Structure 1
Amino acid sequence: MVWALPGRASVSTQALVDRILSSGQMTRKEHLQLAATILSDQRLTQAERYHISRVFDELQAGRVMLVD
């Protein structure tokens, strides 16, 4: 599983979210990374939580596809 380092989460998380939303596809590894990030003890800003939640909302609505 991929873990982001404290202080670097926003850059890698934002880049990952941007890539997922622009492509409309998310790998299972990326799914696990985002889930671990939002559920971990990391201090996320409201904006970071919003962007991650948006990806999961888009996935649930079928606008982002989970690929292997």
Structure 2
Amino acid sequence: MVMSVSAHSPDATLEKIVERIFSTHQITRADQQRFMTALLSKDSLTSKEQSHIDRVFDGLRRGLLRVVD
């Protein structure tokens, strides 16, 4: 399962989610769950998808993002 946030263009949708997260400095629990599901899936992510997810988790580790419900 490759980051199924959209049936048409997963990477474009993922990119929009990441843009929203960094523009608001907030990540929802649902966003977090989508990323974890993608990372834990048996299918591989594209390098671009992996980069987007890494950027978000790095932002969380560095305290740049706040988790909201």
Q: Is the TM value for this pair above 0.5?
A: yes
- Please state which band the TM-score falls in when normalised by the shorter chain: 0.7 to 0.9
Aligned residues: 66
What percentage of residue pairs aligned between the two structures are identical?
Answer: 33
The structural deviation recorded for 1:42 is 3.7
Would the aligned equivalents of 1:34 and 1:52 in 2 still touch at CA under 8 Å?
A: yes
Report the aligned-residue RMSD: 1.9
Unaligned residue ranges in structure 2 (runs of 5+): none
The structural deviation recorded for 1:43 is 3.7
1:42–1:8 distance in 2 versus 1, CA, 3 Å: farther
CA–CA distance in 2 between the matches of 1:16 and 1:42? Answer: 21
Tell me which amino acid in the other structure corresponds to 1:56.
Answer: F
CA–CA distance in 2 between the matches of 1:29 and 1:14? Answer: 16
Instruction: Find out whether 1:66 has 2:67 as its counterpart.
Output: yes
Runs of 4+ in 1 over 6 A off after TM superposition: none
The structural deviation recorded for 1:36 is 0.8
Q: Choose 34-43 or 56-65, whichever is displaced more.
A: 34-43
Q: Normalising to structure 1: TM-score of the pair?
A: 0.80
Would the aligned equivalents of 1:27 and 1:66 in 2 still touch at CA under 8 Å?
A: yes
Q: Normalising to structure 2: TM-score of the pair?
A: 0.79
The structural deviation recorded for 1:41 is 3.1
